[in-house]
Chain A
Amino acid sequence: MKDTDILDLYWQRDERAITETQHSYGKYCYSIAYHILHDREDSDECVNDTWLRAWYAMPPKRPNRLSLFLGTITRNLSFDKWKHKNALKRGNGEMEVALDELMDCIPATKGTEEAVEAAELERLINAFLHTLPERECNVFLRRYWYVEEYSEIAQRFQMNLNTVKTSLFRTRGKLKAFLEQEGIVL
């Protein structure tokens, strides 16, 4: 079923919307959840919660790209679940490694400025990503949005593993410099 038809079902409050969404995007959302959680039950739960959130969000929402709308919900729910289970301890898995890497992007603080608002940080990161060359941006998003492993990214973009690592290292450095330049305190 086309996205527009699925969206119509949501707007008509027809429960088939959820079945059709699951049919079309179940695997996609599960993949996102599993990359973050590495746990089948938790991933299933997040995917199911995604359908529920989508049900309550549409209407009034009518996303341009249903896949990304659902994927973002799944990512947020999965990350919340991951935080709940892992934030206070050092765990295993790709999520932990990805976060360790993102520590490289933390700008140095010079004083006692207030931490940037979430919305402002989102805007700046978006602006930063738009400055990157296409491939570099894609690699960065596959790693830190989808939490994919280096090897998966290398396969996806037909790159050497080391090139992926170099690219990510370079981009993290750029992001740090960018945030510092903008005077951001996290």
Chain B
Amino acid sequence: MSMQEKKEKAMRIFEALSSVDEDLLVRADEQQTKVVPFRHATRVMAACACLLVVGLVSWTGSRSLMTKESAASDCAAPESVNQMMADTTADKAADAEADVEVGMDEVYNDAYDSDEVVAEEVMEEAAPEIPAAGVEAEVEAESGNMEVWDEESMDGVSSSVKDDAVVYLNEQELRAETVLGEYIPTVIPEGYAFESGYKSADGAITLRWSMGMDDIVIGVALYEPSEENEGRIVDIAKRETYDVHVYEIPYADTVPAEYWEVFHTPIFREKDFGIELVEARMKSVEDLGDTATPRGNFSVLYEEGVIVRFDGDCDAESVWKMFESIGE
């Protein structure tokens, strides 16, 4: 097959993608760019300023008390504080740079707005080298932009972006979250390492562990009793609404439309939940280039009104042990 023929076939696939189901596109759109909100940037700045003040106070205090003989050796302390500050500043520079990259969508938006700046130029300007010395000003300027973006640029484009600002936290910090942190499983299947986690603006927390090409995602949130969510709560007597082994893949062809919502995102009540339900949701699929690890998803609604979502690749028994460990 010639390269031209291959290209034409690839174009057919590209064109066929134009008719992708709306729900898939909506889902792909929902996980929008994560932007650290202005208030969090200011918190970092405030923390740095406090460190600087404490460092200076202790340094000047020790200077006034120390003798000429001891002065040389004691000077190491302020230097280390300065070094720490420099490190923090460098980290902030890296973060700021990353945030600039995060804002590529906004760059396109800006390019669209501006009649004087061509998009290519804007893109190049989007990732400037930020000198460490000017980071605070840069962060401030960027935060300013963020506010403008929040207020103006997102009109009607996707309000979910506006509400989707998140704070990235490590596993320990997420576990320390009041209420929701207690619903993070304490037992994680062997071999899986924490990869990332964040807290959304609405307080929900999400954690991801991975092992090679296999992932485990746990989301913890307060349950919102909307009509849509209520419809996803499973009546375990109706196996056909949640058991992935009942249907052949592709599910689009085999799962009845009336079960579509609950089948793809089922919620089990805590009182019903057991390993047999986990097994009903985990299925190993033979895919070229993929691992044979069972994959699946479901949520568990706890009586306290907290919902824990699982989405990932793992054997059912290990997943069950994860859920068993919640609250231990």
Contacts and interface: CB of A to CB of B under 8 A. Distances in A.
A106 B288 contact: no
A35 B119 CA distance: 11
Contacts of A23: 155-156
Contacts of A142: 28
Q: Which 8 A-B pairs have the closest CB atoms?
A: A24-B156, A173-B289, A127-B250, A177-B288, A102-B10, A122-B19, A30-B112, A27-B109
Interface in B191-225: 196, 198, 210, 213, 215, 217
Interface string B11-31: 111111111111011111001
A186 interface: yes
A157 B20 CA distance: 20
B102 to A, nearest CB: 5
B253 interface: yes
B15 A79 contact: yes
B10 A105 contact: yes
A126 B20 contact: yes
Contacts of B253: 127
Contact of B213 (A40, A64, A156, A166): A166
B45 to A, nearest CB: 23
B188 interface: no
Nearest to B30: A138
Contacts of A15: none
Contact of B27 (A26, A43, A138): A138
B63 interface: no
Interface string B96-132: 0010011011001101110000111000000000000
B173 to A, nearest CB: 16
Interface string B149-176: 0000101111000000000100000000
B238 interface: no
21 contacts: A25-B157, A26-B112, A27-B113, A31-B105, A40-B119, A68-B25, A71-B25, A105-B10, A106-B9, A126-B21, A126-B24, A133-B311, A135-B217, A137-B24, A137-B28, A145-B25, A155-B104, A173-B288, A174-B288, A174-B289, A186-B13
B128 to A, nearest CB: 16
Given A24-B155, A106-B13, A129-B20, 7 more contacts: A31-B112, A122-B16, A125-B16, A126-B252, A131-B285, A134-B311, A135-B217
Given A105-B13, A137-B28, A27 B196 contact: no
B249 interface: yes
Contacts, number: 185
A28 B14 contact: no
B287 A174 contact: yes
Nearest to A138: B28
Interface of A: 1, 23-28, 30-31, 34-35, 38, 40, 43, 64-65, 67-68, 71-72, 75-76, 79, 83, 87, 98-100, 102-103, 105-106, 118, 121-122, 125-131, 133-135, 137-138, 141-142, 144-146, 151-152, 155-158, 163, 166, 169-170, 173-177, 186
B68 interface: no
B97 to A, nearest CB: 12
B21 A137 contact: no
Given A138-B28, A155-B101, A158-B198, A40 B111 contact: yes
Interface of B: 1, 6-7, 9-22, 24-28, 31-34, 98, 101-102, 104-105, 108-109, 111-113, 118-120, 153, 155-158, 168, 196, 198, 210, 213, 215, 217, 249-253, 285, 287-290, 295, 297, 311-313
B102 A34 contact: no
A178 to B, nearest CB: 8
Contacts of B120: 38, 40
Contacts of B27: 134, 137-138
B282 to A, nearest CB: 12
Contacts of A169: 289
Contact of B156 (A1, A102, A134, A155): A1
A76 B217 CA distance: 34
